Chain A
Amino acid sequence: MDASGSHSLLSISGLSASYSTQRGRASALSEIDLDLGKGENLGLIGESGCGKSTLLKTVMGVMPGNARIDAGSIAFQGRDLVSATAEQRRAVRWAGISMVTQSALNALNPVLSVGDQIAEAILAHRDVSRAEAWRRTQALLAMVGVAPERARDFPHQFSGGMRQRAIIAMALALEPPLVLADEPTTALDVVVQDQIFRSLRELQQRLGFSLLLVTHDLALVIENCERVAVMYAGMIVETGPTRDVIRRPAHPYTLGLKNALPRLGSREEPIAIPGGPPDLVDPPAGCRFAARCPFALLRCHAEPPPLTSIDVGRQARCHRAAEIDTLAPLAALPRTWDALRGQSLDAPSA
């Protein structure tokens, strides 16, 4: 990892962040390590509330008022953003890192024309005339497949798919090296989703940006990202090449995620992971997944596992990562998880 640091575009290390809530500080991100090279696509998956959006907002530097970075660094093109001044951060926003937000439907200001909202991003960072910014805006819209003359339209005159395309055009307006996408297509139907990802891939070939894609949808990650990071309760629990991680998960949570997928051409019922995520205000002392893990040992409840390398470019945060090949077949059995539904049991011996 360190050796590749020189050509790494985004390098997050030891990042922890928390929200202040009525019950105390909720540790929403904990010891996040993540690397993203130039032109690389990284998928980020994990169940709702695990901190994916928090991570992206922290990278963008637009955390809500009750959020705080507790530790760690976010290096973008070798410069740390956490310790940067507000003005330095503002310059990096959009020109360096742009973002396609989770709800494109609400991300456009209803009282400003779509074109104006794209043009203002250009004007905020580039020394160009209004006319030139507008010309670029129209070219951008055409590039993502929206008729340029629609630039004067207001968001409510756009369909959901068009709005999403407009946001993508906006994200690419300054040709940033890194684009973050937070569930860019969840609100859209599958056909439109396919179209949008197809044009996103085409644009990427032309413009060469890196993509950090957050999604619930494993299939999207498999199609679009060479590497994937799995998040659980504010922590990265596994990273690696997408194919390897999906084929041979190294963490019980990833095994569970894979089980929960409906398998095409298989009679097996998807198995849901029992239970829910831990309380982030008072997180478990040991492994954060322990309460839901069928393989948890006593040690797991007492001692948090570190993120360790298990193969070239692969890491997992599990005390039993080394035994995963023997645990995997058990994880495919509904029985294994059912045992947890009644009461948390000790792991069956391997």
Chain B
Amino acid sequence: MASYLVRRLGHMVLTLFAMATLMFFLFRLLPGDPTATVISPSLYPKAQEAMRQQFGLDRPLFEQYLLYLRNLCVLDFGFSFQTNRPVFEMIQGRLLNTLLLILPSMLAAYLIGAVIGAMAAWKRGGGAEVSVVLTATALQSAPLFWLSMLAILLFSIKLDLFPIGHIVTPGLFPEQDWRMYLSLDFLHHLALPFLVNTLYQLCFPLLLMRSTMLSTIGEDYIELARMKGLSERRVLFRHAARNALLPLATTLPMILGWAVAGSVVIETVFSWPGLGLLMIEAISRADYPVAQAAFLLIALLTVLGTFVADLLYGLLDPRIVYD
């Protein structure tokens, strides 16, 4: 187990290093002069030069790369071209906002999706199953931004049940500190993006759970569990669902990737000040340090998620041995 963990951590570091490198060069390949958004061309050439030096934009590419790697190791992401504030500071709060939206909603999506999928399989052939499967398939293939906008149109604009966007009512918490997260206002703002994301993300676990349950139900050990005189509920949850969860755990890393991509969309539509929105904003302003850091953090989230999913799988399946 210990050697497995060490190896697994090594993999993670390598993956992140590769991501960081890729990102560095990708950003340098982007069109446009990054200095243009920060350094007004109307400034004196001397002033422009000074700023270039300040941001290290005048050094050779390779040197910039080494500097970049060294800074990453000490979590120094540099300063935003746009605001001149340290990137790390800007990103902290954004990371928390994203996690608060994505983690609970993924958890809910998995739990609810798995339960509904299991029930659908158990009641197979009925009208309920057919409508659940059709709805999930339709939802899953709908674009997320369209669903989000539809939800805003219906629940925020027409029915006026939820605010249109943002994390709290603007101006209510000028300090933007932790008290904001404990307020009802925050929950009110969280509700709609949470619901939309949960609904969207639960389709995959639901459909997967249903189909694996269907093949599990035909297994001999399910028949034996029935023969033992266990209640249907016990057969369903303890025997069938427990096994059908395995493929769900295997696909978790992939789903996490989708969830992260989805968060960018959700945050943009709902003006949710998370990492995804920050990244979009940073890219549109060619704010390289910020965009890079946001990208890297998103990559880190995905890699960590994969790691957790792996460990989880080992807990679920006794046949897995870590060595």
Secondary structure type dominating chain B contacts: helix
Q: Chain B residues with Cβ under 8 A from A65's Cβ?
A: 125
Interface hits, A84-105 → B, CB 8 Å: 90-95, 98-99, 101-103
How distant is the Cα of A93 from the Cα of B317 in the complex, in angstroms?
29
Contact B228 A121 (CB under 8 A): yes
One of B224, B227, B231, B317 near A111 (C-beta < 8 A): B317
CA distance A77 to B69 in the complex (A): 80
Q: Which residue of B226, B227, B316, B319 is within 8 Å of A156 (Cβ)?
A: B319
- Which B144-186 residues sit within 8 Å CB-CB of chain A? none
User: Does B221 interact with chain A (Cβ within 8 Å)?
Assistant: yes
What residue in chain A is nearest B318 (Cβ atoms)? A154
Q: Are B227 and A106 in contact (CB under 8 A)?
A: no
| B319 and A93 contacting across the interface, CB-CB below 8 Å | no
Interface residues on A, range: 20 to 34
Q: Which residue of A lies closest to B216 (CB)?
A: A109
Whether A103 contacts B220 in the complex (CB less than 8 A), given A110-B243, A110-B318, comes out as yes
Contacts of B224 on A, CB cut-off 8 Å? 99, 101, 107-108, 167
Residues of B within 8 A of A106 (CB): 219-221
Q: A98-B227, A124-B229 are in contact. Are A107 and B220 (CB under 8 A)?
A: yes
Asked if A110 and B319 sit within 8 Å, CB to CB, the answer is yes
Compute how far the CA of A153 lies from the CA of B267 in the bound complex, rounded to whole angstroms.
47
- The yes or no answer to B52 lying at the interface (CB within 8 A) is no
Q: Complex Cα distance A94/B221, Å?
A: 15
Contacts of B85 in A (CB 8 A): none
Q: Which residues of B contact A243 (CB under 8 A)?
A: none
Interface digits, A109-153 against B, CB 8 Å rule (1 contact, 0 not)?
A: 111110000001100110000000000000000000000000000
Q: Cβ of A120: which chain B residues have Cβ within 8 Å of it?
A: 228, 230, 234, 238
Given A106-B221, A109-B239, A110-B243, residue A95 in contact with residue B229 (CB < 8 A)? yes
Q: In whole Å, how far is B46's beta carbon from the nearest beta carbon of chain A?
A: 71
Smallest beta-carbon distance B156→chain A, Å: 44
Main secondary structure of the interface of A (DSSP, over half): mixed
Does A327 reach chain B (CB closer than 8 Å)? no
Inter-chain CA distance A30–B234, complex, in Å, is: 34
Could you give, for residues 169-203 of chain A, a 1 whenever the CB lies within 8 Å of some chain B CB and a 0 otherwise?
A: 01000000000000000000000000000000000
Instruction: Specify which chain B residues have a CB less than 8 angstroms from the CB of A207 in the assembled complex.
Output: none
Chain A hits for B58, CB < 8 A:
none
Which residue of B is nearest A121, CB measured? B228
Residue of A nearest to B224 (CB): A107
Q: Is the CB of B228 within 8 A of A94?
A: yes
A94 partner residues in chain B, CB cutoff 8 A? 227-229
Find the B residue at minimum CB distance from A105.
B220
A109 touching B243, Cβ below 8 Å: yes
Can you add 14 more A-B contacts, CB < 8 Å, to A94-B227, A111-B242, A154-B319?
A60-B227, A90-B231, A92-B229, A106-B219, A107-B220, A107-B224, A108-B224, A109-B242, A111-B318, A112-B242, A113-B318, A121-B228, A121-B229, A121-B230
A-B contact pairs, 16 of them (CB 8 A): A90-B229, A92-B229, A101-B220, A106-B219, A106-B220, A107-B221, A109-B221, A109-B225, A109-B239, A111-B317, A112-B242, A120-B228, A120-B230, A124-B228, A154-B319, A156-B319
What are the 7 closest A-B residue pairs judged by CB atoms, nearest first?
A93-B229, A106-B220, A154-B318, A109-B221, A121-B228, A94-B229, A107-B220
Interface residues of B (CB under 8 A from A): 125, 219-221, 223-231, 234, 238-239, 242-243, 246, 316-319
